[in-house]
Amino acid sequence: MDLKPGCHIHLMGICGTAMASMAGLLKDRGFKITGSDMNPYPPMSTQLESLGITIQKGYKAENLHPQPDFVIVGNVISKSNEEAQELMKLGIPYTSLPKAMGELIIADRESVVISGTHGKTTTTSMMSWVAENAGVKPGFLIGGIPKNFSQSFKNPEGNYFIIEGDEYDTAFFDKVPKFIHYKPKHVILTSVEFDHADIYKDLQAVKDSFARLMTLIPENGTLLACAEDANVLELRKLAKCKNSFTYGFKAEADFRAKVLFQNEKGVGFEVHHKGEILGPYSMQITGDYNILNATAVIAMSKILGFSENRIQIAMESFEGVKRRQEILGEPNGILVIEDFAHHPTAVRETVKGIQKKYPSRKVFSVFEPRSATSRRKVFQKDYVEAFKGSHEVLLAKAFDQSKIDSEDRFSSEELVADLQKSGVTAGAFDSADHIVEALKSRAKTGDVILIMSNGGFDGIYTKLMKALE
């Protein structure tokens, strides 16, 4: 990768959260950037547009003419993809995003990797904001857009690079988890559950991938493992680093969070460690899972030697991440919130957190099964548990299931029937437009509408805001 500024780098699958961030990092370093994608949607498409990077819609052979000097291939690209076929035919040098990150961006810096099934984006954003406030001038790559920075990436000026360590595979020619290439020295492991049913056979396969991460942490590195998760505690035993600690609410956690208050305005808590009380800390974002995320960040910040005062200031001023409990508006007194939740555990915690935050308001929980796993029946019954206790649930039909065998497909209708049996008011809808119509007629002033999807959801956000106005 002997690339000089001015070289033309093309990114295939540029609208992926990490790919769009990589495009920004490279453009910031003086490279000419182009990219292609099939279904660009905000916030990454708008971030790329703001950077002056044109998105070529669709994967076509012509996207590689004129020929770029180098190509970075996203993990959405299959070997049979027309553009990938042209890449091989032309013999242009190429690599995967994670390998490019490790070699071009992280290099020999102190790599702080935030990994796990849940909470990666928020925790990485929070860690980056604390490090920025601590004055260490970190670089970062985040799978979302943190509101404190307004973009998902930053080139490092100092010695730290903070990155979201995804367990999804790297590329069709490099079938290993992304974090393998991130040179992990300091690691936060938030949770380990079965996910990504399109590439992992079962929970053991997922655990095997995280086991590789544990063995990559050097002896002089750091591991912070969530004490609330049995799988994480099992994996922790594989790490050989001297600085290995747990965090959580449990009394035995090395860094133990104690909640002082939690309401509509935010949350207050302190962290107990070896007889010392750290804090108090206050945050604008709420939910037990966010307190756990923050506890991990505080612990890592203390280990890395960041000032206690700067940690407190950063926590209090942390604004969260776009598409994570993001308030879109309150037309006619109806509060509309967007969230990225798609795994049953994330859905359960998000619904529970929002209903707890607004105890006197009815919450409509709207969900689109869109991820590779949620479109399959593997979590069919888990979603029943996830939505139990919900005030009212509106389910979209699963996003494109054409490539999933009929017997393996998730069914919104079956979930609705199971929820109704358990006493939850629920309905299934054929389109985002039908959900908007239902909410327009049923939501009243004072209610909350929580929309959960990890995709564009057929533009439901704009459609709903317009309808409610």
Q: Are 7 and 104 in contact (CB under 8 A)?
A: no
Q: What is the pLDDT of residue 1?
A: 63
| Peptide bond connecting 184 to the previous residue in cis, omega within 30 degrees of 0 | no
Q: Are 3 and 25 in contact (CB under 8 A)?
A: no
User: Residue 140: in which H helix or E strand, if any?
Assistant: strand 139-141
Helix (H, G, I), strand (E, B) or coil at 167: coil
For the domain made up of 8-96, the CATH class stated in words is alpha beta
Q: Are 238 and 246 in contact (CB under 8 A)?
A: no
Name every residue whose Cβ is closer than 8 Å to that of residue 352 and which is 6 or more positions away in sequence.
287, 389
Q: What is the pLDDT of residue 358?
A: 92
Which one-letter DSSP state was computed for residue 321? B
10-residue mean pLDDT series, the chain (469 residues): 88 91 93 92 83 93 96 94 97 95 93 95 96 97 89 93 90 90 97 86 93 97 97 97 96 97 89 96 91 98 97 95 89 95 92 91 96 91 95 95 92 96 95 96 97 91 95
Crossing angle of helices 412-421 and 380-387, rounded to 10°: 40
Which one-letter DSSP state was computed for residue 109? S
Residue 2's CB is within 10 A of a number of other CB atoms, namely 6
For 239, list phi and psi in degrees, rounded to 5: -75, 140
Which CATH number is associated with domain 108-317? 3.40.1190.10
Domain ranges of the chain: 8-96, 108-317, 326-468
Name every residue whose Cβ is closer than 8 Å to that of residue 60 and which is 6 or more positions away in sequence.
36, 82, 83
Q: What is the pLDDT of residue 439?
A: 97
Write the DSSP string, 184-201: -SEEEE-------TTT-S
- Which of 218, 207, 107 minimizes the C-alpha distance to 163? 107
- Which of 341, 23, 16 minimizes the C-alpha distance to 171? 16
Q: What is the pLDDT of residue 247?
A: 98
Q: What is the pLDDT of residue 397?
A: 94
Q: Are 262 and 150 in contact (CB under 8 A)?
A: no
Q: What is the pLDDT of residue 80?
A: 95
Name every residue whose Cβ is closer than 8 Å to that of residue 66 and which is 6 or more positions away in sequence.
8
- Distance set, CA 452 to CA 198, 237, 342, 370, 393 (Å): 21, 35, 7, 10, 11
User: For residue 170, what are its two tokens?
Assistant: 């790297």
User: Residue 347: in which H helix or E strand, if any?
Assistant: helix 344-357
Distance CA 147, CA 145 (A): 6
Distance CA 29, CA 447 (A): 47
Q: What is the CA radius of gyration of the chain?
A: 22
Q: What is the pLDDT of residue 47?
A: 86
Q: Determine the topology of domain 326-468 in CATH.
A: Protein-Tyrosine Phosphatase; Chain A (3.90.190)
